[in-house]
Structure 1
Amino acid sequence: MSGLHLIRHGTIAELRLDNPAKLNAFTVEMLEAVEPACAEIERDPALRALVITAEDSKAFCAGADIMAWSQLEPWEFARNWVRYGHRIFDRVAGLSKPTIAALNGHAFGGGLEFAATADIRVIAPRATLALPEAAVGIVPGWSGTQRMIRLLGEPLVKEMALFGRRISAERAYAAGFAAEISEDPKQKAFEIAEALSAKSPCSIEVAKYMIHAAVGEDRDAMIEALGAGMMGPTADRTEGVTAFREKRKPNFPGI
């Protein structure tokens, strides 16, 4: 059945786009399935990495299904489609587990924006990247002009969003958007995930928070998460909680 599927492979989770009839374009149902999948991944400490894949051999994802949003009223489109999709994609970008996207084919519009939520990307030689929204009278809505600027830089994003140019796998790799070019990006992505699974999950999680805070990816939450992590093992925290429970004034040791 088409949609978005969460599949477990031991310590690795796979989030698979499966709408090949429309080149894996996002439907409302697929978008709504992302959040519960992320929640399930976060809840399971046995999962050490996430690989994002696509079922179709031609495209990773052609973007958002135009039939899903073209009939919406302007306010509905802005609030219930663009803002909602942005929140969902931010949820993927903010996962504590490392994520690898396997771009087996073209990634356009929302599909490219979805690939951008991953920590690293592996891309097939024939794949291209594009932000074609101007051709149908809209603009990138799921971080194409925000997160993509940080990953690809202003000139390349302008080439795609303003001039409608497709970026080749080679240019994506040269720009640092793709970590590797591979004839079998899914296999390579799983190999990377396996290697990550052997490393300290705590170290990887904290390093990801630090890097995201540095580049402005969910900075406020990342900084506060790191601060909470520092306070967790302190005697001050233990004393504060104990004093609250015992209904007395705390005597903080400062360690």
Structure 2
Amino acid sequence: MSALHLITDGPVAELRLDNPAKLNAFTTDMLAAIEPHCAAIEKDPAIRAVVISAEDAKAFCAGADIIAWSELGPWDFARHWVREGHRLFDRVARLSKPTVAAMGGHAFGGGLEFAATADIRVMAPSATLALPEASVGIVPGWSGTQRLIRLLGEPVVKEMALFGRRISAERAHALGFAAELADDPRARAFELAEALVGKSPCAIEVAKYMIHAAAGEDRSAMVEALGAGMIGQTADRTEGVAAFREKRKPEFPGNQ
């Protein structure tokens, strides 16, 4: 059974890391669970928001399990571990539902990259961020040098990835990476997520697409999704589908 659980009980779902013996480090099974969990979230209209959390109060996620990747050859490490992990993290970042990460402890390497996939983050005052990959002879591989540049800025990411500096929760908040600091990040994350339940899910989804397009987060897909949503509401689309089914030439009404 994977140590990444999806709990659905009401309009706010919870995606929970549960590998405390290894400070919630990502294993192969945990990575593999991301895709089906995301698919379940997208297919359930009752889910209005998602909280991303972790069981261990000391660590949100210590990164990737070194034992899981250290025995891989160079090709498998690059193609399966890094490339597939990057794709799966992108899948979380591009969920149509809003996401809030509750960071009760430290987020290092892949754990920080996972937290970066959320729309907003709540951190415990004692939590820290780090990109320690260089200390074990590798580089960030799950968007640490890509998405984090947009969220923290190039100079800060260089501090972390090149010089090994940790970023405190206070500084993360000042930089805008953390929306809030809270002694109980999970409880506060649920409060923020539950506040969305009374808002228009369609408006929130479209707003998220627009912001992602502006930020360069899968811009081409976001633009096409917005275009498809617009055209899907037109009489032209209704007429085109009807004409196809009736095997006749369509008579598009245009802007009516």
* TM-score of the alignment, normalized to the shorter chain, above 0.5: yes
8 Å CA contact retained: 1:126, 1:169? yes
- The secondary structure found in structure 2 opposite 1:101 is strand
Q: CA deviation at 1:73?
A: 0.5
> Structure 2: which amino acid aligns with 1:31?
L
What residue number does 2:110 align with? 110
What residue number does 1:26 align with? 26
How far does the alpha carbon of each residue in 1:79-104 deviate from its partner, in whole angstroms, 9 at most, with x for none?
00000000100000000000000000
What residue number does 2:252 align with? 252
Identity of aligned residues (%): 80
**Please, which runs of 5 or more residues in structure 2 have no aligned partner?**
none
- The secondary structure found in structure 2 opposite 1:143 is coil
Give the count of matched residue pairs.
255
Please identify, of 113-122 and 240-249, the stretch whose mean Cα deviation from structure 2 is larger: 240-249
Instruction: State yes or no: 1:164 paired with 2:164.
Output: yes
- The secondary structure found in structure 1 opposite 2:157 is helix
Superposition pairs for residues 51-200 of structure 1, below 5 Å?
Answer: 51-200=51-200
TM-score normalised by structure 2 residue count: 0.98
**Please, which runs of 5 or more residues in structure 1 have no aligned partner?**
none
Superposition pairs for residues 207-246 of structure 1, below 5 Å?
Answer: 207-246=207-246
Q: CA deviation at 1:121?
A: 0.1
Q: CA deviation at 1:24?
A: 0.1
C-alpha distance in structure 2 between counterparts of 1:54 and 1:25, whole Å: 10
- The secondary structure found in structure 2 opposite 1:160 is helix
> Structure 1: which amino acid aligns with 2:248?
R
Q: CA deviation at 1:9?
A: 2.7
Q: CA deviation at 1:2?
A: 6.3
> Structure 2: which amino acid aligns with 1:113?
E
> Structure 1: which amino acid aligns with 2:181?
I
8 Å CA contact retained: 1:2, 1:19? no
C-alpha distance in structure 2 between counterparts of 1:197 and 1:104, whole Å: 24
C-alpha distance in structure 2 between counterparts of 1:46 and 1:160, whole Å: 39
Indicate the RMSD between aligned Cα atoms, in angstroms.
0.8
8 Å CA contact retained: 1:38, 1:95? yes
C-alpha distance in structure 1 between counterparts of 2:241 and 2:110, whole Å: 45
What residue number does 1:46 align with? 46
Runs of 4 or more consecutive aligned structure 1 residues displaced over 3 Å after TM superposition: none
Instruction: State yes or no: 1:37 paired with 2:37.
Output: yes
How far does the alpha carbon of each residue in 1:182-223 deviate from its partner, in whole angstroms, 9 at most, with x for none?
000000000001101111101100000000000000111110
C-alpha distance in structure 2 between counterparts of 1:200 and 1:192, whole Å: 15
- The secondary structure found in structure 2 opposite 1:225 is helix
- The secondary structure found in structure 2 opposite 1:197 is coil
C-alpha distance in structure 1 between counterparts of 2:245 and 2:194, whole Å: 44
8 Å CA contact retained: 1:12, 1:51? yes
How far does the alpha carbon of each residue in 1:157-176 deviate from its partner, in whole angstroms, 9 at most, with x for none?
00000000000001100000
- The secondary structure found in structure 1 opposite 2:163 is coil
Q: CA deviation at 1:11?
A: 0.4
